[in-house]
Chains A and B, each alone.
Chain A
Amino acid sequence: MHNKQKILESLIKGFIWFSAIGTVMILLAIMGYIVIKGIGFVNFEFLTSTPKRMGAEGGIFPIIVGTFYFVTLTMAIATPIGVGAAIYLSEYTRDNLLTRTIRFTTELLAGVPSIIFGLFGYAFFVILLKEYTGGWSLISGALTATCMILPILIRASEEALKTVPKSYREGSFALGATKWQTVYKVVLPTAIPGILTGIILSIGRAVGETAALLLTLGGSLLLATSMYHGTRTLPMHLYMVAMETGNMDQAFATGVVLLFVLLFINLGAGYIVKKIFVKNI
């Protein structure tokens, strides 16, 4: 082989290695930087006291509560819709025009930018349905977020349902069970770990979402007492503090809390799912 060729190949290989290691480094740099800059400000008081001066000082208690309410409400609305849609698509129909339309729109929906969901949520839930949602509120934000995470939920649940062996269904039918009995008593329990993984992914997405919520959730710093109240989530607070008050310490501290919440959701919940379900199957 020519020497020139050899050198070129080594260079290419070098670049490939550099890129792969670089990707890991970037991740470490981003997470490390935020954690190092912010961890010193995270203490019990920061987590349990109310913000002062628009969040430039004080704690983030109402924001943690708001995030929790928002995610719970979103998942309570989105999970039945997403899982139900997936059941219909995988158990009740064959490939036809309707299912193809639904699959296509789901894929399309997955690619819609979050700010567009924000505009839609603002026009529909905040303005048009103001009487029922209270304008900028937890419920408006949750409904908007539901539209956003629906594609993830449907896809993950469908994948999970697909992994259930056909023989399970046939066995159930042979025993005289109806379609729904089969789905409810045989297929769903088997597919539950996969569905839960999809739900966890969606929770992660909802917790990290910002742009759509800026236009629908209101951004109040007060403790929300009902779903018709406005509130903030952690990333919204981070953005508003960083851009409006300029107090970066508070922004970094909020970022650390956000990262830990996400880490807990991803690792912790994944672990629990494995522990509980893998043993039983």
Chain B
Amino acid sequence: MQTGVQHTIGNVVRTLKNPRDLKEKVIQTILLLLATIAVFVIILITFFIFKNGFPIFKEHGFWNVIAGQIWNPTKSVFGFLPMIVGTFYVTFVALIIGIPFGLATAIFLAELSSSRMQKIIRPAIELLAGIPSVIHGLFGMVVINEVMRYIQRNYLGGILPPEYQWGYSVLSGGIILAIMILPTLINISEDSIRAVPKSYKQGALALGSTHIQTIFRVIIPAAKSGITSAVILSMGRALGETMAVIMVVGNMPMLPEHPLYSIFAPISTLTATIAMEMGYAGPEHRQALFALGIVLFCIVALLNTFAIIIRRGARADA
């Protein structure tokens, strides 16, 4: 112990005496501080979201807020259920539409395509990932919602209630989000399909399976954990997307009244409500929006932690 301390002191003294060593130490300390900024940022985010949003839970009761069905900020009624339901509904629709196409494209790239096809499709996916969400939103608002309105009025006009006939809907939001999560789905699934050892495929083919059988019975099951993490990451992306959703779902913070046709209902999500209302919110309303942020933050943090653990597990297996 004694010698350890003396040793350390000796090192410090020697370092201070030698300017070259001192400079090295200073630089190393600066780099260490820069590296820890990311940790501080996540701590600060958590702290500020909770500090600003928590009073709402305290004042109105946690379950009253989380399970409350009515959102009426001007009357100081803060029920989060419409936004929570809206967020998950849109995300669910996006996954239902996105997963088959994303997985199929990943299979195409990893197993069925020539390198010439890959040279066309890869850059397209990369570009798709780089398109800002407002562009997706604008496209959804003008094209998809227009088509949706046409279908709602001309083919379903007799069935749907009038408030479900103006295009802005869960389905539009789901379609746009499905497009937006495609790159994440495709890239991670493709990587995990490629990571399956060649011998699996060779074994299955040698036993007389067709290529398609091999893909669906051997390769996909072997790539399961990677595909799962692709789905979870895309889900996190869809839950947290703001701009594209805000421009197509109609931003009506209420539970759909007709559950049967609710896929055509205008709704609002956690993200859309925060972004729409932050501009004009009073003090208590603002706290409620931060509390919506807490809910979103917790859901997404949980999902991402899952995804990270699954991916690490997959890596450890390989």
Q: Which chain A residues have a beta carbon within 8 Å of chain B's beta carbons?
A: 1, 5, 9, 12-13, 15-20, 22-24, 26-31, 33-34, 37, 80-81, 84-85, 87-89, 92, 101-102, 104-109, 111-120, 122-124, 147, 150-151, 154, 178-180, 204, 207-211, 214-215, 235, 238-239, 242-243, 248, 251-252, 255, 258-259, 262, 266
15 A–B pairs (Cβ distance < 8 Å), ordered by A: A12-B216, A16-B112, A19-B105, A102-B39, A104-B308, A109-B41, A111-B237, A112-B240, A118-B274, A118-B275, A208-B132, A208-B134, A235-B132, A239-B243, A258-B134
Decide: A112 and B300 in contact? CB cutoff 8 A: yes
Residue from A20, A30, A258 within 8 A of B117 (CB atoms) = A20
Given contacts A109-B42, A120-B44, contact A262 B132 (CB under 8 A): yes
Decide: A180 and B308 in contact? CB cutoff 8 A: no
Decide: B212 and A12 in contact? CB cutoff 8 A: yes
A215 to B279, CA, bound (A): 8
Given contacts A111-B300, A150-B38, contact A178 B24 (CB under 8 A): yes
Decide: B293 and A111 in contact? CB cutoff 8 A: no
A-B pair number, CB within 8 angstroms: 247
A27, A106, A248, A262 — which one has the most chain B CB atoms within 10 A of its CB?
A27
Chain B residues with Cβ under 8 A from A251's Cβ?
138
Nearest first, the 5 A-B pairs at minimum CB distance are A113-B240, A208-B132, A84-B34, A19-B104, A111-B304
Residue from A18, A20, A37 within 8 A of B113 (CB atoms) = A20
> In whole Å, how far is B60's beta carbon from the nearest beta carbon of chain A?
19
Within 8 A of A (CB), among B16-41: 20, 23-24, 27-28, 30-32, 34-39, 41
Residue of B nearest to A237 (CB): B134
Decide: A113 and B271 in contact? CB cutoff 8 A: yes
Decide: B39 and A24 in contact? CB cutoff 8 A: no
Residue of B nearest to A211 (CB): B242
B249 at the interface (CB under 8 A from A): no
Decide: A23 and B105 in contact? CB cutoff 8 A: yes
B290 at the interface (CB under 8 A from A): yes
Decide: A235 and B109 in contact? CB cutoff 8 A: no
Chain B residues with Cβ under 8 A from A178's Cβ?
20, 24
> In whole Å, how far is B254's beta carbon from the nearest beta carbon of chain A?
20
Chain B interface size, as a band, is 35 or more
Given contacts A9-B210, A16-B108, A208-B133, contact A23 B32 (CB under 8 A): no
Chain B residues with Cβ under 8 A from A122's Cβ?
278
Chain A residues with Cβ under 8 A from B143's Cβ?
33
A180 to B20, CA, bound (A): 10
A235 to B304, CA, bound (A): 27
A23 to B31, CA, bound (A): 42
Of the listed stretches B7-15, B119-127, B159-167, B191-199, chain A binds B119-127
B223 at the interface (CB under 8 A from A): no
Decide: A15 and B48 in contact? CB cutoff 8 A: no
Chain B residues with Cβ under 8 A from A151's Cβ?
38
A12, A30, A92, A243 — which one has the most chain B CB atoms within 10 A of its CB?
A30
Chain A residues with Cβ under 8 A from B23's Cβ?
180
Chain A residues with Cβ under 8 A from B236's Cβ?
111
Given contacts A210-B133, A238-B134, contact A108 B308 (CB under 8 A): yes
Decide: B179 and A26 in contact? CB cutoff 8 A: yes
Chain A residues with Cβ under 8 A from B135's Cβ?
30, 34, 235, 238, 255, 258-259
B230 at the interface (CB under 8 A from A): no
Chain A residues with Cβ under 8 A from B94's Cβ?
none
Decide: A242 and B212 in contact? CB cutoff 8 A: no
B107 at the interface (CB under 8 A from A): yes
> In whole Å, how far is B280's beta carbon from the nearest beta carbon of chain A?
12
Residue from B127, B240, B308 within 8 A of A115 (CB atoms) = B240
Decide: A120 and B186 in contact? CB cutoff 8 A: no
Residue from A19, A37, A105, A255 within 8 A of B108 (CB atoms) = A19
> In whole Å, how far is A2's beta carbon from the nearest beta carbon of chain B?
11
Decide: B101 and A116 in contact? CB cutoff 8 A: no
Given contacts A108-B42, A178-B24, A242-B138, contact A113 B300 (CB under 8 A): yes
Mark B231-268 against chain A: 1 for CB-CB distance below 8 A, else 0: 00100110111110011000000000000000000000
> In whole Å, how far is A236's beta carbon from the nearest beta carbon of chain B?
8
A111 to B241, CA, bound (A): 11
Given contacts A89-B35, A214-B275, contact A107 B308 (CB under 8 A): yes
